[in-house]
Amino acid sequence: MIEVQQNATFARWLRSLRDARARAGIVARIDRMAAGNLGDAKPVGGGVSEIRVHYGPG
């Protein structure tokens, strides 16, 4: 199990998303990461990684 931490800025941004499907996809992606499935993740330093969530065009 991996510890996934959110900060207040991220939580506010996630709540502000109007697209419920996009929000659900992001939450599901975070849940998979917490279960150990990192998928498309890249370390950026200092113990922090960024992920890409593929959704919609572009």
pLDDT digit string (tens) for the chain, length 58 residues: 888 888 999 999 999 999 999 999 999 999 999 999 988 889 999 988 888 888 887 6
What total number of domains does the chain contain? 1
Does any domain span residue 13? yes
Does any domain span residue 20? yes
Domain containing residue 35:
8-51
Please count the other Cβ atoms lying within 10 Å of the Cβ belonging to residue 51.
14
Does any domain span residue 1? no
Does any domain span residue 39? yes
What pLDDT score was predicted for residue 58? 65
What pLDDT score was predicted for residue 55? 83
Does any domain span residue 56? no
What pLDDT score was predicted for residue 47? 84
Q: Is the pTM of this model over 0.85?
A: no
Q: Is 37 left (phi over 0), alpha (psi -120 to 50) or beta?
A: beta
